[in-house]
Amino acid sequence: MVTLKDIAAEAGVSITTVSNVVHKRKSRVSPETVQKIREIIQREHYVPSMSARSLANNHSAIIGVITHLTPQNMGSTMSDPFLSSFVDSLEKRSREEGYYLMIRSVEDTGELVALSRSWNLSGLVVTGMFRDDFFDAVRTLEMPIVLIDSYVNDPAVCSIGLEDEKGGYIATRHLLENGHRTIAFASPPIRSGGVIAQRLLGYRRALAEYSVPFDPELVFTQEISVEDGKRLGRILGAKEEITGIFASADLLAAGIMAGLSECGVSVPGGKSIVGFDDNYLSQLTVPPLTTVHQDADRKGFLAMDMIVRQLRREDIAEKSVILPVRLTERGSVRNLAE
């Protein structure tokens, strides 16, 4: 079996140069040398050894993508369309850099530590983190970490978030601008310091701006799944006073719309609804869903870029990034004045 040493000898370069080309770190290698090395690799059918790489640098080529808590009633973390789009972007970028992804849900700190040690992970991308024992365990792992949608505020840790409060605000304001005054807020269980709490703050800010009192009875929380969403849709369909709904995720909004349809309530004729995420579901609902857009692809690209830069010990100009949101108007909101 051909080795890096064999390729380096034939190409007349160092083993480090060959390794850089194999792992797509070509910035300091001339195009001619890159081409020569690639031709030898192709001819000899060279495949990098994962175990050898792990032994050489005390790390595998695996980046862990960890969702904090095992989801309830969802079957799989990948059933969330936003997460699947985000992970797809992560995978593309990791493949370019010669890394692999391991996607896992974990229930507690012990499982996280065991996972990291068993697989000798090179880095972690963690979603939905809070400042708690779980975060403390992550910090002790001493590896590159990027937090996604996590309000932890640790300047030593890279994080990528979203204008969540603004998203809740513009979604609710859009309903208010169209004459709605009794507006339901639908979301998974709300935890202080999380993204849903921020979106609820935006909802409340928009209501206050229009002098609409906040009514906690209009806040509906449950796990996000299609069946739970349909069940909530049937509940909301029976509440005639509610004319508008802000759902904190498109998956939940789609379920609500299906539930409304089951009990004979049309969208937007009977109820208007705004979602959050702008994933593919928002274009498949009938009518297409008005929603708050976030760039899942950009979030995934930035997360992997931050991991790679930490692995290479390169400077990261901005460790905390907040991505913008905007409203995408489609056909699920009716103007009550028309």
Q: Is the pLDDT of residue 131 over 90?
A: no
The chain-wide mean pLDDT, for the chain, equals 87
pLDDT for position 221: 94
Structural domains for the chain: 4-48 (no CATH), 62-162+296-323 (3.40.50.2300), 164-293 (3.40.50.2300)
% of the chain residues with pLDDT over 70: 91
Give dist(CA 337, CA 174) in Å, integer.
14
Give dist(CA 155, CA 152) in Å, integer.
9
Report residue 41's pLDDT band, with 50, 70 and 90 as the boundaries. Answer: confident
- 117-121, 162-166, 201-205: least confidently modelled range: 117-121
Bond from prior residue into 31 cis (ω within 30 degrees of 0): no
pTM for this one? 0.81
Residue 322 in 3-state DSSP?
A: strand
Q: Is the pLDDT of residue 32 over 80?
A: yes
Encode pLDDT of 263-278 as tens digits.
999 999 999 999 999 9
- Work out the end-to-end distance of the chain between its first and last CA atoms, rounded to an integer number of angstroms: 75
pLDDT for position 56: 46
Residue type, 241: E
Residue 220 in 3-state DSSP?
A: strand
